[in-house]
Structure 1
């Protein structure tokens, strides 16, 4: 994983949103108080933004807006095909893991 400096978060989100269009995301939130909880499973990605004025990360998925207030760090896992996951840790040490996946492609139904 590589760290992305906070000064680059807005431009990083703009680039990543374009690259992630058509993919699906899974969001897992982990903290000592809550344990591990899945917030989203295989939802289409609409966009990822960081607003430095309000200090909020937003992961917009179809049917869900996952907001991370006062994020402290952003780590990204890359592969040859692009970003595969992100880890955002907020001010309260809550870890938000976002994994990106290709949509499941089912074979076309066979006619008789």
Structure 2
């Protein structure tokens, strides 16, 4: 991702909490880029809830939905034992977070404003 910053593990929890605060009310796409299976969408422009890093369980959890009658269920995507987290700077057209797990599978979380034309 252009304009990204690879974070030190000590900054993951704080940085992802900040991403959650900055992107409340936006839509999110979650793409899994598995070297063996290929590129798959897990969520496409659903209402963003949170992204957090839990150091105790060594897991990144991304939650979408659960905030409206249209999307009443919360979907959680987990990245166990991440080895890398990159956060796109605010200078990029579409802010994003990329995580890589110990098997080399990358998860790309891309944020879109509500005005981007997708339904919420």
- The reply to whether TM is greater than 0.5 is yes
Matched, 1:87 2:98: yes
Contact 2:94/2:112 (8 A) holds in 1 = no
CA–CA separation in structure 1 for the residues paired with 2:64 and 2:35: 26
CA–CA separation in structure 2 for the residues paired with 1:69 and 1:102: 28
Deviation readout 1:50-86 (Å, 9 max, x if unpaired): 0001000000111310110000001111124897001
Name the structure 1 match of 2:18: 15
Name the structure 2 match of 1:46: 49
CA–CA separation in structure 2 for the residues paired with 1:48 and 1:30: 18
Matched, 1:74 2:79: no
Structure number, greater radius of gyration: 1
Report the number of matched residues. Answer: 106
CA–CA separation in structure 2 for the residues paired with 1:38 and 1:105: 18
Relative to structure 1, the CA distance from residue 91 to residue 33 in structure 2 (aligned partners, 3 Å threshold; closer, same or farther) is same
CA–CA separation in structure 2 for the residues paired with 1:29 and 1:45: 17
Matched, 1:6 2:41: no
Structure 1 outlier segments of 4+, above 6 Å: none
Structure having the larger proportion of residues in strand: 1
Unaligned runs of 5+ in 1: 107-112
